[in-house]
Structure 1
Amino acid sequence: MLMRKFLLAILFAAIPFILFAQTWEVGGFAGGAGYMGDLNQHNPAQLNNLAGGVYVQRNFNPYFAVKLNYLTGHISGADSTSNIQQFRDRNLSFHTTLNELTFMAELNFMRYTPGADKDHFTPFIFLGAGAVNYIPQATYLGVDYNLRELQTEQQAKAYPYNALTIPYGAGVKYNFSGNWNIMVSAGYRYVRSDYLDDVSGSYPDRTKFTNPLAAALSDRSGERTGVYIGNPGTQRGDYRGHDTYLFVGFTLSFTFVTANCYY
């Protein structure tokens, strides 16, 4: 909640500068969020929840721009929905809300100035860096629990609430009326964390947990069968070094362009 208030304060503080600028742009994003990691290892295009956001962008010329971008979305995963028996036996699940703040550079492939250039559309690519806030949870006996504090893999210390994120992707934008634009884009995020889903390495020794809730959520394989497969030291996650998430959707934006603008 504090992070959201901070991000909104930044955006509102930028409004006076936007209103008096000639090459600034503001927009809103709506679409879907997806995730690829230990609970979804094979479907990089899977979207399972909604996402939205806002941005402020500075267009330096018809080809290059930088933006401050805030996005929020919900991601989740559940072994019980997998078509692979090994994952269904593991029976782990999670869900979390992502709050992302990034700076991104954007490159148009064609000359693009809303309301001025003859080209009313262009493909584009983007790359950036920023931070993402996440708090993975799991539902157990009808109650949602924060997994970070439980240290379900008996980590030496709880992993951070925030991680470095590197967004990259592509899209197409179209100037459909005067200064108004619509875009469709897809962007993946490399995350400097393997704990978006609270799953990373090996099963710990359940007998060494002092918290019975942590022990229960560390190995959920026997909840339906009564047979627990999480022997200490055996594989729990996919052993990859990081998780990935993505945002796909539409953006509606307005560009502040005047006769003295960059074109």
Structure 2
Amino acid sequence: MTIFYRHDISAPITLKAAFMGSHRIFEDKAFKDESQNLPHHDWRDTELKLSMLEFSLGIEYNFLDYYDDIRKPHRVSPYFFIGAAVLNFNHQLTRQGDVMEPFDNKFTVSIPFGVGVKYALSKHWNLGLEFGPRFMFTDNLDYLQESGSALLAADLGTGNSKAYANPFDKDMYFYNGISLSYTLYRLNCPPVYKRKAGILD
């Protein structure tokens, strides 16, 4: 669920602030695929509960003039966006019903970017479609990091978590959304008339 506010500073450039909340449950058994040999998930056999709160600020570049009245009522524009976000997340790791890692509250920073399209349903109502990955600066979103989750590593008999973590990249998460927004138009009044001083004044 996302709440956002956009402010157009020019025809192609839009500033956006957004607040997103998400709760997910990841289970290793759900990744089983009979057509492939994937023993890793069966071996780990864990379940991860993950809740996230994200506040982001970004800039959008509209490729078409979305407010061009000549095209109405069918105004549409694809756009590209990039920004910065503060992420608060907490997660709990369980294995075969036993809590291996309790809920742990953390903060981190991510870089959202992606593409989308805006479509005007009417003068005020707009429909949007957006896809954007988030690059993170942590490798602990899913408790799978090279130096973390010692309890699970000990339970699996590895002694450390290097056996199942990828030390060569950081975590990522993705956002796919359909949005409905309402446009508020600002009508600029003409400047106050001032009578210029004449010859007889």
TM-score by length of 1: 0.61
Partner in structure 2 of residue 138 of structure 1: 93
Residue 179 (structure 2) aligns with: 251
**Structure 1 residues 131 and 164: alpha-carbon distance in aligned structure 2, compared to 1, 3 A threshold:** same
Aligned length: 181
Distance 1:233 1:258, change over 3 A: closer
- Structure 1 pair 235–112 and aligned structure 2 pair: CA distance change class (3 A): same
2:65 counterpart of 1:107 = no
* Alpha-carbon distance in structure 2 between the residues aligned to 1:110 and 1:177: 17
Aligned residues of 2:84 and 2:112 also touching (Cα < 8 A): yes
Q: 2:169 aligns with which of 220, 241, 247?
A: 241
Deviation at 1:252, TM superposition (A): 0.7
Q: What residue number does 1:59 align with?
A: 8
| Cα distance in structure 2, aligned partners of 1:61 and 1:132 | 29
1:56·1:69 contact (CA, 8 Å) conserved in 2?
yes
Cα 1:146–1:189 shift into 2, 3 Å: same
Larger-gyration structure (1/2): 2
Q: 1:106·1:124 contact (CA, 8 Å) conserved in 2?
A: yes
Q: Which amino acid aligns with 2:92?
A: Q
In structure 2, runs of 5+ residues without a counterpart are 33-37, 190-201
More deviation, 84-93/248-257: 84-93
Could you tell me the TM-score, scaled by structure 2's length? 0.78
**1:117/1:240 CA distance change after superposition, 3 Å:** farther
Deviations 1:187-237 (A, max 9, x none): 110111111111111688xxxxxxxxx73x4455xxxxxxx4424475121
d(CA) in 1 for partners of 2:128 and 2:176? 11
Q: Unmatched 5+ residue regions in structure 1?
A: 1-51, 149-159, 205-213, 221-227
- 8 Å CA contact retained: 2:55, 2:87: yes
Choose which of 74, 88, 112 in structure 2 pairs with 1:167. 112
CA–CA distance in structure 2, aligned partners of residues 177 and 234 of structure 1: 54
Deviations 1:76-99 (A, max 9, x none): 422223331123112233121110
User: For residues 168 and 49 of structure 2, what CA distance do their matches in structure 1 show?
Assistant: 19
- Give the alignment's Cα RMSD to 1 decimal: 2.6
Q: Report which of the two has the higher share of strand.
A: 2
Cα distance in 1 for partners of 2:148, 2:50 equals 22
- Residue 117 to residue 200, structure 1, CA distance change in 2 (3 Å): farther
User: Pairwise mapping of residues 1-263 of structure 1 onto structure 2 (< 5 A)?
Assistant: 52-83=1-32, 84-113=38-67, 116=69, 118=71, 120-139=75-94, 141=97, 146-148=102-104, 161-201=106-146, 215=151, 217-220=152-155, 228-232=156-160, 234-260=162-188
Between the aligned residues of both structures, percent identity stands at: 24
SS in 2 for 1:136: strand
Distance 1:232 1:110, change over 3 A: closer
CA distance in structure 2 between the partners assigned to 1:192 and 1:184 by the alignment: 27
The letter of the residue matching 2:128 is M
